């Protein structure tokens, strides 16, 4: 339950330069300080926590040069997912200038917990690119939208907005007793499947249409009771339906 404080010193050797470095903090249980204190089965790997440190030597003023940085997109749309799951998208920052440029997402912390960005800040070398990752994790089945504010070279008066959009969806599965019916007639239908009267030794079939009205994939599988084995069969037994996708399954009834 205790805490520790570390001081990071910044001693740049040159003026008018951007600096960026990832620091790695490694921690381990005190008993792990010597291999003679425990057996191999008791060894626990250490924890590693990366910390991104940035700084510049522009004497408390913004750089005089204007950054020539372009974004691969100004709007990011995430694939639909279920509440509690995560999906990611990337943004490419391209520096076409002859001088380095720093970038920072000023409202990165306020985007959470639904949206997150990594890294939150950094430095683009001249004629280079950087990939920024965005994460979307919905809490409920509803649409979400946010705006990430990107600032170059600390010039907060000239921000660049990146629109973030995502939607949380719950998986759904509907079925229709009719065969070859159009999209407008897909309904939940009845929960009972009837076969026409069939003689012993003969068989009859019914086609059932499964439909996924949601925007997330749904995996389905039929489980038949043991007493119907050899009498009722279904093909295919399992499958996966993507968003707004349908599939037909064939049921067979062969009394014996």
* Tens digit of each residue's pLDDT (9 = 90 or more) over 79-111: 999 999 999 999 999 999 888 888 999 898 889
Query: How high is the pLDDT of residue 189?
Result: 47
Domain boundaries, the chain: 1-63, 66-169, 174-253
The CATH fold assigned to 66-169 is Immunoglobulin-like (2.60.40)
- 160 exposed, middle or buried (CB, 10 Å; 0-12, 13-18, 19+)? middle
CA 177 to CA 175: how far, in whole Å? 7
Residue range 185-242, pLDDT digits in tens: 344 445 677 888 888 888 898 888 889 988 889 999 998 888 888 899 999 999 999 9
Residue with tokens 């229709």, as numbered in its chain: 176
Contacts of 191 (CB under 8 A, 6+ apart): none
Residue range 19-37, pLDDT digits in tens: 888 888 888 887 777 777 7
Yes or no: say if 25 and 51 are a contact pair by the CB < 8 Å rule.
yes
Chain centre distance of CA 109:
18
DSSP code per residue over the chain: ------------SSSS-EEEEEEEEEE--GGGG-GGGS-GGG--PPEEEEEEEEEE-STTS--SSPP-EEES-SEEEPPPB-TT--EEEEEEEEE-SSS-EEEEETTTGGGTTTEEEESSEEEEPTTEEEEEEEEE--SSSSEEEEEEEEEETT-TTS-EEEEEEEEB-----EEESSSS--GGG-----S--------TT--EEEEEEEE--SSS-EEEE----GGGTTTEEEES-EEEE-TT-EEEEEEEE---
Contacts of 57 (CB under 8 A, 6+ apart): 12, 14, 15, 16, 17, 19
Query: How high is the pLDDT of residue 236?
Result: 92
Quickly state the pLDDT bin for 43 (edges 50, 70, 90). confident
Q: What is the pTM of this model?
A: 0.72
Q: Do domains 66-169 and 174-253 have the same CATH topology?
A: yes
Yes or no: say if 67 and 100 are a contact pair by the CB < 8 Å rule.
no
Is the preceding peptide bond at 200 cis, omega within 30 degrees of 0?
no
The CATH fold assigned to 174-253 is Immunoglobulin-like (2.60.40)
Contacts of 119 (CB under 8 A, 6+ apart): 52, 132
């Amino acid at each position: 339950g205790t805490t520790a404080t570390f001081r990071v010193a910044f001693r740049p050797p040159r003026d008018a330069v951007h600096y960026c470095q990832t620091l790695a903090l490694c921690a381990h249980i005190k008993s792990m300080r010597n291999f003679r204190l425990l057996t191999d089965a008791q060894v626990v790997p250490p924890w590693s926590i990366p910390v991104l440190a940035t700084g510049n030597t522009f004497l408390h003023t913004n750089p005089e040069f204007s950054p020539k940085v372009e974004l691969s997109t100004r709007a990011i749309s995430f694939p639909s997912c279920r509440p509690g799951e995560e999906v990611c998208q990337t943004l490419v920052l391209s520096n076409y200038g002859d001088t380095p440029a720093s970038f920072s997402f000023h409202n990165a912390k306020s985007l959470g917990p639904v949206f997150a960005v990594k890294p939150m800040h950094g430095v683009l070398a001249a004629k280079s690119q950087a990939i920024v990752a965005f994460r979307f994790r919905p809490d409920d089945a509803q649409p979400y939208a946010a705006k990430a504010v990107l600032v170059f070279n600390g010039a907060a008066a000239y921000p660049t907005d990146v629109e973030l959009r995502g939607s949380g969806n719950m998986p759904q599965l509907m079925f229709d007793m009719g065969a070859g019916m159009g999209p407008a007639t897909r309904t939940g239908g009845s929960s009972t499947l009837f076969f026409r009267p069939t003689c012993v030794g003969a068989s009859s079939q019914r086609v059932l249409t499964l439909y996924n009205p949601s925007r997330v994939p749904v995996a389905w599988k039929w489980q038949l009771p043991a007493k119907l084995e050899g009498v009722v069969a279904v093909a295919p037994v399992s499958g996966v339906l993507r968003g707004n996708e349908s599939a037909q399954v064939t049921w067979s009834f062969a009394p014996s």
